[in-house]
Amino acid sequence: MKLQNLIFITFSFLIFCNPLFSQKLDPKGRDFFKPDHIVKSEITNKDYLIHMSFPKNYSIKDSITYPVLYVLDGKSTYGYFESSYIDFEKIEDVILVGISHKVNGVESKINRFNDYTPYRDTLTDRKFDKKFGVEKGTIKTGGAVKFLECIKKEIVPFIDEHYKTNSDRGISGHSLGGLFTAYCFLNSDNYFTRFGINSPSFQLNEKIFLEPAIVKFTSSETWNIEPTKVFISTGENESPMMVSNMVKFSLYLKKNKYENVDMNWRIYRNESHTSVIPFCLNGTLTTLYRKE
Task: Give the length of the chain.
Answer: 292
Domains and CATH numbers, the chain: 29-288 (3.40.50.1820)
Task: Considering only CA atoms, give the Rg of the chain.
Answer: 21
How confident is the model at residue 147, as a pLDDT?
Answer: 98
Global confidence as pTM: 0.90
Half-sphere exposure of 29 (CA within 13 A, CB side): 2
How confident is the model at residue 292, as a pLDDT?
Answer: 79
Mean pLDDT in runs of 10 for the chain (292 residues)?
A: 49 43 75 91 98 94 96 93 87 97 95 95 92 94 97 98 97 97 95 98 86 91 93 97 95 93 97 96 96 85
The answer to whether residues 54 and 95 touch, using CB atoms and an 8 Å cutoff, is: yes
What digits encode the pLDDT tens for the residues 225-273? 999 999 999 999 999 999 999 999 999 999 999 999 999 999 999 999 9
How confident is the model at residue 28, as a pLDDT?
Answer: 81
How confident is the model at residue 82, as a pLDDT?
Answer: 85
CA distance 165 to 55: 12
Task: Count Cβ atoms within 10 A of the Cβ of residue 292 and give its class: 0-12 exposed, 13-18 middle, 19 or more buried.
Answer: exposed
How confident is the model at residue 14, as a pLDDT?
Answer: 41
